[in-house]
Structure 1
Amino acid sequence: MSDDRRKPYPFDEFEPAWQKRWDDEKTFRTPNPGDADFDASKPKFYVLDMFPYPSGSGLHVGHPEGYTATDIIGRAKRRQGFNVLHPMGWDSFGLPAEQYAIKTGQHPRVTTEANITTFKRQLKSLGFGYDWDREIATTDPEYVRWTQWIFIQLYNSYFDEEAQKAKPVSELEGKGWSREQIDAVRLAFIHEAPVNWSPDLGTVLANEEVEEWKAKGHTVERRPLRQWMLRITKYAQRLIDELEPLDWPEGIKLLQRNWIGRSEGAEVHFDLEGHQVTVFTTRPDTLFGATYMVLAPEHPLVAEITTDAQKSAVEEYVAACASKSDLDRGDLNKDKTGVFTGAHAINPVNGEKIPVWIADYVMMGYGTGAIMAVPAHDERDFEFAKKFELPILQVVQPKGDEDWQGYTDHGTAVNSGFLDGLPTAEAKAKIIEWLESEGKGVRKIQYKLRDWLFSRQRYWGEPFPLLWDKTTGEHTTIPESELPLLQPEMEDFKPTGDPRGPLVKATDWINYSDQFERETNTMPQWAGSCWYYLRYCDPGNNESFIGQEVESYWSGGTDSKGIVDLYVGGTEHAVLHLLYARFYHKVLNDLGHLSTNEPFKKLVNQGLILGEDGRKMSKSFGNVVNPDDVVRDYGADALRLYEMFMGPLEQVKPWQMKGVEGISRFLARVWRVAFELNQAGEWERSSKIQDVPCDDKALLKVVHETIKKVTEDIEKMSFNTAISQMMICTNAFTAADVVPLKEFTQLLHVLNPFAPHLSEEIHARLGGAEPLSESAWPAHDESALIESEIELVVQVNGKLRDKITVAKDAPKEEIEAAAQAAPKVQEQTEGKTIRKIIVVPGRLVNIVAN
């Protein structure tokens, strides 16, 4: 829309004014227990957006979709009598800011704060009802303090297997455990792990980051490095079990369960050239069909068992695998590769020698880094065996007439010695019993979940609050009184290639004392983003990460399923963020710092908003729509309403500017019900608006239908259908000769959470003394919805001629009289004799005349 066109209503004048008023008056400030204006009698409602990473490009129109949904709910709940907590903040540590600092020399904090300023301006321009007094950023020193404090709690805890919960390691000290024993069970521990190391970025990358940075031209290789880890695997079963009661999409629950990957089976011991190698299998009943073994290329035994004849081929293959990510290696569709080591293992059930290969589809990070290959009944093993011409032996007979080659389902054991003839379940039980009795294996429950790699080699991240003894090599935490520990001031952020990270250059900072030096790794971005929802509750607390009374109130009691009542965000965080946040929460609950064992009661994922070309919005595609442009041309309310009207919140939807124009026309119709232009070109109150009782029953019915439906649809998050109903109501007002002020105001009440600027402005101009945001939510009148009259079709000799409206309980004689009196019926029956009148109750009247 060009600037010289008259806007359909003056949104550019009143939208900024209302935003300033909400800011100045702190309209959406939410008091805490202990505040003078706190009302403990109100129920609480905590609605949360997944907080954004403030990138340099700012928001695009896909971002406000979830934010608008939570704002509608938050505004409505607030007016329905709830204490609503609806905060916003910034996930502000991150590799992009560090990379920009490396290129430009500008400190990451400067870049990050500038990006936050842009994001905050954009969010305020959309009129979201956030409590900005609770704003946090993960880079704030006070926030860093409590992130580091949480790490210290993890460091000073272990998982009690019997109690299935975290407990302080001080309990073990009291039982006489040695330092070495305690370090081996800490929830935060040091470990040499194979990681995705990028030499040019100078840091470790998470698996999900690898493809992004490789696509940008950076190299990534697998390398074993000393890393801090979190023992999330101890919570694997609880993370599965305690997921079930949550009101989350079943698809997200399934993704979490699959990521954790619970498997029941057996560990089996194989003799391999004088070594014992243990493999885990969910199908121990197929052990007789194990015709070869595969080790991960990085398995520590590979170099030792490889024969001289195979040494060069093995070394070349191992080097090639080092540059591949776990995602690359785990791709089921890729061509299978591998190399024979020249060594052989002994199958424990039949004593047969089987060849030992290495292949990239087996990884040290999963299981034991070794598998028994049963190619007859495993898809990957089958393809591998076919390619390298390895033996394929059937040991399961399918239930039907399916081909046994590659058959992976249950059946009957064959070619399996003492298992022959047994169905799979019985064969499993019998072989496990045999393995345990022979000392060749044990029953085992295993999880695919790996311990959380918690180290990054970056400057722009939380430093670990840890010290290393220069003499003994032991680690310990710094005193809590020294928190927060911030990064040293540096001007050069470039990676050195040293896997200890760029902080190695800060020699004075590293040297804590004559006895101790600091840890140079920093924490991942997840460290701060996994507990931010807790800090929102009590952001100004200097004594605790969250006060006990505050936590108790916002949690809603010990029987609550979580502290956050509604969490809305994208599916890109379906696994890791949610899993890590749940882990943090459970540990803090175990240690007595929280009263609930889950963070998020209800989770909703909004669908992606695509560009007008049907592709994901991206600068590279040139299809990004900036919300600033939409707000400039159509107003914030039009953007908000359009994003909710596009379709169900969870669906993927393409952006269409014509759709924004349509919503803008709807809002203009609401405006023109109330105002009309005078000769001076100014908006003045419409003569249709009158402060009189509504005697139009049909109009009254539409209004109360709208109140009822919008209220119910907000609760169901069916925002598009709520908007459709408000359009119907607006059309009814537009068609009316008189618009009763009371009933029109009720439309403004329910429109308010969707289009807060327009509704507040109209309400104020029509004399509303109290802002809609401060007034109670309207209740519908059930009696107004009762149909007192019905419309009947009137036919003459079977052909439609007219329609009549009669009382719902009108007697037959009254209906017949009304039908005969209808003008068009009289035209058709004039000069004729009415022979018969047939009344079909509630539907029609047919007059037979000739």
Structure 2
Amino acid sequence: MKEYNPKSIEKKWQDIWDEKETFYASEDKSKPKFYALIEFPYPSGQGLHVGHPRPYTALDVVARKRRMEGYNVLYPMGWDAFGLPTENYAIQNKIHPAIVTEKNVARFKEQLKSLGLSFDWSREINTTDPEYFKWTQWIFLKLFEKGLAYKKEASINWCNSCKVGLANEEVVNGGCERCGGEVVRKTKNQWMLKITEYAERLINDLDLVDYIERVKIQQKNWIGRSEGMEVDFNITGDKKVTVYTTRPDTLFGATYMVISPEHPLIDELKDKINNFDEIEEYREYAHKKSDFERTELNKEKTGVQIDGINAINPVNKKEIPIWISDYVLMSYGTGAIMAVPGHDTRDWEFATKFGLPIVEVVAGGNIKESAFTDIEDGVIVNSDFINGLPVKEAKEKISDWIEEKGIGHRKTNYKLKDWVFSRQRYWGEPIPLVYCEKCGWVPVPEEQLPVLLPEVESYEPTDTGESPLANIREWVETTCPKCGGYAERETDTMPQWAGSSWYFLRYTDPHNDKELASKENLDYWLPIDWYNGGMEHTTLHLLYSRFWHKFLYDYGVVHCPEPYGKRTSHGMILGENNEKMSKSRGNVVNPDEIVDEFGADTLRLYEMFIGDFEKSVPWSQNGVRGCRRFLDRVWRLQELLVDGEQYSKELETSMHKTIKKVSEDFETLKFNTAVAALMSLLNEFNDAGKVNKEEFKTFLILLNPVAPHITEEIWAANGFSGMLNEQSWPVWDEDKTIDDVIEIAVQINGKVRGTMLIPSDATQEVAKAKFAEDEKLYSLIEGKTIVKEIYVPGRIFNIVVK
């Protein structure tokens, strides 16, 4: 028999699958559907690394299994191709971003096809394709039409390196998510999307979906819902400042107030502030910091007391000082806080540094210690009419009192802020609006979509913060669609998140030029049955795409309120040195080299066998070699093949147990233990010295989703009917998964001293007889009196002796 040679069979089967359109989703909507989705990649110049195939192969395994179970499977692929990396590369190398994108996509596609992934390539999409982003622009116009897209002067995160505004979600550890560069605050006129309108539903509707718990937690934490009160504090000069607090029960402990350096009160009361120059100097200092730096918990507290104005605590009428400090942001709450240093860590540190009063209002021992805990239990003290009440009751009583007095009201607050949607760069979807002095912002008529990017020679971002498009006057200057007068196009472009916020809808009907997808296709395919992606996208992309989907649900485009029925996440594949793969660390593994040396099936098998799918794991070249050796042994099984149309008596139980194990493990992300079960079954075949045709066919079907090329080749080489991928997934008989012989623990006086094999239906008498036959075990009680025997069928046989 010829040796196993992946190079001679893998391309052959990939070509056959392409020619026969084997993995194309069917238009037959009478079949049950299964929509499997992975996050489409950003096609960079570096191509794939071995981390990419892990999630792709995992859902490919599930998709292949579901096809054999009779489902109409949609497993699509496309390209998230707008964005900064391509534009920056284009700037550095003087190549148009469209050319860079085309080249990168071709490279990625070639690599993916070499892995034998069962994507439906007839549905391939690209966010930079005008026929695609026409509908991205259409969705934006609908958001604008409904008042959910608006423009306002806002203080934004600004990356000095990329020269672009960033959403809060794109600032990671105080730096730009893309380049890691410095992020500062800058005031700009920005397009915003009113995602906050959907905050409550984005939290509540997590009850409708099957997401792993850590994903749900990240979504909830990012939205940051809290229940509290907005309370008014009177200020010198007939002014008032509103604070938001989740702990109105601690109002009697508010000994000072802190407002954001950007708070408008400062300019409104400028004439009354005696140290305005000092305040201005501090404002300038704070302005240079990102929100992350300002709110870092472990940073040194800084601030300036405002000399000339004070606040009045509304519950005890005491005059308290007002400070400005950079740890209070205008973008959260009201831009002002009541400081309760007796029971808040940050306030305590601030008060301690500047010698401000600290009052205990929740009995809990040492004030310093209680400041470092969120005291939700305990009894109220030093608080007049709520003294002696437990915290929960005190909250309700003082909240009612505040509302009765007209000095505040109950309020649900969110950490989530509206989405900064503008980007001052070239390589993105043009925002389809024009500005007319007479009519204001006017939508480009739908029949004129898509609005295309103009050809430009320079993509350099401007130092002024304007988009490079602003310099293309022949493109900017246009006619107002409403009045026919002079107008100018919006020169900001959309962020990369725009195209990825609805791409899963386009896969259902990618060539439709009349609508983003037909109602018939959307109704059939949605919601997505299983979506897998990285944990790094469970705040940004997941939140944004759920928001867009909910808007389209409200607009009547889709029939379900949530896009993804199930969401799972995978761990990263690290370098062999246990560090994240990167070119700078020199630990990146190129999948092309693995495929070339060992074959695509070996790579696929190894990525599924490498470890717990949900956890990060280091790469091991020795592990790759071990998986190749396993496939060599699978190939040599053909030498042991004998006739047989049903499972042999000796292997019947193992066959049914393996079918059950593999079937269940594929559905629960336990790919590594499914592969281990197949390896064990292979060992049993070799121990028996034979494998009959029925056993071999079942084994090949079970292995096929992980290693499709070798299994298809063996299937065809042995004359089995049809193509392997057309076969039905095997089913197990639960009764036949029970071993005839089982291993149970043997205890003497309650301590485990060994094990023994007995029939699965053995009685106590049989167990005792088997024990007596085991010389080693029986010697442990020789010469002793048996007081008692305890037999738990299938588990233990315990003998009590004296």
Taking structure 2 as the reference length, the TM-score comes to 0.89
Contact map agreement 2:195 2:417 (CA 8 A) in 1: yes
Q: Secondary structure at the residue paired with 1:615?
A: coil
Whether 1:368 aligns to 2:334 is yes
Match of 2:218 in 1: 255
Separation in structure 1 between the aligned mates of residue 90 and residue 145 of structure 2, nearest angstrom: 35
Instruction: Kindly indicate whether the alpha-carbon contact (under 8 Å) linking 1:376 and 1:406 is maintained by their aligned counterparts in 2.
Output: no
- Pick one of 209, 219, 222 that aligns with 1:246: 209
- Cα 1:345/1:601, change in 2 over 3 Å: same
Deviates more, 1:778-787 or 1:329-338: 778-787
1:520 lines up with 2:520 in the alignment: no
Structure-1 residue corresponding to 2:231: 268
Specify the SS of the correspondent of 1:226.
strand
- Runs of 4 or more above 6 Å deviation: 399-402, 789-793, 803-813, 840-845
Q: Could you tell me which of 158, 162, 185 is aligned with 1:201?
A: 162
1:256 maps to a residue whose letter is: Q
**Structure 1 residues 842 and 224: alpha-carbon distance in aligned structure 2, compared to 1, 3 A threshold:** closer
Structure 2 counterpart of 1:249, which letter?
A: I
Q: Which residue of 2 aligns with 1:291?
A: 255
Alignment of 1:670-709 (within 5 A): 670-674=634-638, 686=639, 688-693=640-645, 696-709=648-661
Structure 1 residue 327 and structure 2 residue 300: aligned? no
* Matching residue's letter, 2:508: C
Whole-angstrom CA distance in 1 between matches of 2:158 and 2:221: 26
Q: Deviations over 1:324-366 (max 9, x none)?
A: 2222222112222222232322222233222222211111111
Letter in 2 for 1:394: E
1:141 aligns with 2:144: no
1:192 aligns with 2:153: yes
Q: In 2 relative to 1, CA 620–309 (structure 1 residues): closer, same or farther, beyond 3 Å?
A: farther
TM superposition shift of 1:100: 1.4
Matches within 5 A, 1:78-477: 78-157=67-146, 186-210=147-171, 211-213=174-176, 216=179, 218-274=181-237, 275-305=239-269, 310-342=275-307, 343-398=309-364, 403-406=369-372, 408-410=374-376, 411-471=378-438, 474-477=440-443
User: Counterpart in 2 of 1:584?
Assistant: 548
2:647/2:655 contact within 8 Å kept? no
Contact persistence 1:8–1:665 (CA under 8 A): no
The within-5 A match list for 1:520-559 is 520-555=491-526
Aligned residues: 762
Q: Show the counterpart of 2:459.
A: 493
- Residue from 570, 591, 594 that aligns with 1:630: 594
In 2, Cα distance between equivalents of 1:816 and 1:406: 64
Q: Offset of 1:320 from its aligned partner? A: 2.4
Cross-structure match for 1:683: none
Secondary structure at 1:545 match in 2: coil
Q: What amino acid does structure 1 have at the position aligned with 2:287?
A: A
Distance 1:816 1:350 in 2: 85
SS of the residue corresponding to residue 542 of structure 1 reads: coil
Partner of 1:20: 15
Q: Aligned with 1:528: secondary structure?
A: helix
Q: Secondary structure, in 3 states, of the residue corresponding to 1:521?
A: coil
For residues 757 and 322 of structure 2, what CA distance do their matches in structure 1 show? 89
Q: How big is the shift at 1:279? A: 0.9
Matched, 1:644 2:608: yes
Percent of aligned pairs with the same amino acid:
51
Structure 2 vs 1, CA of residues 326 and 842 (structure 1 numbering), >3 Å: closer, same or farther? closer
Q: Distance in 1 between matches of 2:458 and 2:78?
A: 28
Distance change (3 Å), C-alpha of 1:308 and 1:93: same
Q: Distance in 1 between matches of 2:794 and 2:154?
A: 76
Are the equivalent residues in 1 in contact too, given 2:647–2:695 (CA < 8 A)? no
State the Cα distance separating 1:264 from its structure 2 match: 1.3
Shift of 1:304: 4.2
Q: For 1:340 and 1:658, locate their aligned partners in 2 and report how far apart those are by CA, in whole Å.
A: 64
Tell me the amino acid that sits aligned with residue 518 of structure 1.
R
> Per the alignment, do residues 463 and 214 of structure 1 end up closer, same or farther by CA in structure 2, a change over 3 Å counting?
closer
Deviations 1:453-489 (A, max 9, x none): 11111111111111111345x1121100011111111
Q: Deviations over 1:117-168 (max 9, x none)?
A: 11111111111000001111111111101101111111111xxxxxxxxxxx
Deviation at 1:424, TM superposition (A): 2.0
**Which position in structure 2 is the counterpart of 1:560?**
none
Alpha-carbon shift at residue 844 of structure 1 (Å): 13
Kindly provide the amino acid, as one letter, of the partner of residue 488 in structure 1.
P
Aligned counterpart for 1:663 among listed residues 627, 648, 653: 627
Q: How well do the aligned residues superpose, as a CA RMSD in angstroms?
A: 3.1
Q: What CA distance in whole angstroms lies between the structure 1 residues aligned with 2:517 and 2:73?
A: 18
Letter of the 2:204 partner, please give it: D
Q: CA deviation at 1:708?
A: 2.3
**Structure 1 unmatched ranges of 5 or more:** 1-6, 33-37, 158-185, 556-562, 675-685, 794-799, 826-837, 846-850
How far apart in 1 are the matches of 2:796 and 2:412?
A: 70
Aligned-pair distance for 1:407? 5.2
Q: Secondary structure at the match of 1:433?
A: helix
Q: Contact 1:457–1:499 at 8 Å: present in 2 too?
A: yes
**Structure 2 counterpart of 1:744:** 696
Alignment of 1:804-819 (within 5 A): none
The answer on whether the counterparts of 1:305 and 1:341 sit within 8 Å (CA) in structure 2 is no
- What one-letter code is carried by the residue in structure 2 that aligns with 1:196? N
Secondary structure of the equivalent of 1:122? helix
| Structure 2 SS opposite 1:355 | strand
**CA distance 1:135–1:353, change in 2 (3 Å):** same
Residue type matched to 2:203 in 1? Answer: I
**CA shift at 1:8, angstroms?**
6.9
- Secondary structure of 1:443's counterpart equals strand
What is the match of residue 785 of structure 2?
none
Secondary structure at the aligned position of 1:581 is classed as helix
Measure how far apart 1:405 and its partner are.
4.7
CA separation in 2, counterparts of 1:455 and 1:792?
A: 67
Offset at 1:402? 9.2
Distance in 1, matches of 2:3 and 2:41, equals 33
Q: Against the structure 1 CA distance between its residues 740 and 508, is the aligned structure 2 distance closer, same or farther, given a 3 Å change threshold?
A: same
Contact 2:162 2:179 in 1 (8 A): no
Q: CA deviation at 1:608?
A: 1.5
Which residue of 1 is the match for residue 670 of structure 2?
718
Distance in structure 2 (CA, Å) of the matches to 1:808 and 1:449 = 60
Could you tell me which amino acid in structure 2 is paired with residue 357 of structure 1?
Answer: W
Amino acid at match of 2:509: D
The 1:273–1:99 alpha-carbon spacing in structure 2 relative to 1, beyond 3 Å, is farther
Distance (whole Å) between structure 1 residues aligned to residue 690 and residue 248 of structure 2: 80
Following superposition, the deviation at residue 96 of structure 1 comes to: 0.9
Q: State the TM-score, normalizing by the size of structure 1.
A: 0.84
Counterpart Cα distance in 1 of 2:201 and 2:351? 38
